[in-house]
Amino acid sequence: MKMTNYRLQTEMENIKADKQEWFKNYIRQVLESNKPYYAKADYIGLSIQEIQNKIDYLSEDIKEMTALKKSLTTAKATALEATASVLAEYGIDRLDGTSISSITITPQKTKLIDTFKVTDADALIKLGYYTVVVDEEAVKAAMITIEGMDEIDKFVEVGVVSKEVPAKIKVNARKSSSNNQATELLNLVDSQAA
């Protein structure tokens, strides 16, 4: 992972949805600069790609840390049980320390856990223990036909909701990710845009 950020990348990482004007002004400065168009495109695109790289890196770290946490939790539980077993072998029920107060053995106990399993679903249904849910996908599929529409139309409302999706840019990466010329251009634009 790259250790230094381009200024545009830093601006993107700190942008707030309700305070975009500063960021828009910086984009305007980049576009109005006397740099070649391809340097401007690389500067914007590579800054966004760097943010995506950080997201991917963090996602992978989260997966690894979750697996590590699960492994450590299991290891701790196993170590607690094994240590208690060995202490019990030696007849020790309490061990005092200087950095910690003490280690004590909790007695073995039986824990009751409720279980539930249906053995005769048909009998329970006949007794009235069931729910009926409308299959919305089947209704939508039936409404495509004229017969289905005539039959179902009076029981449903069909409408169209318009939702505005703001324009976004898409960064189209080159096949080769190690583009030294692009990095040099970014550094040039970044240093002169500041």
pLDDT single digits (tens) 160-177: 888 887 766 566 677 765
Q: How confident is the model at residue 190 (pLDDT cuts 50, 70, 90)?
A: low
44 with 59: CB under 8 angstroms? Answer: no
Comparing 167 with 53, which gets the higher pLDDT? Answer: 53
| pLDDT given for residue 191 in this prediction | 65
| pLDDT given for residue 183 in this prediction | 61
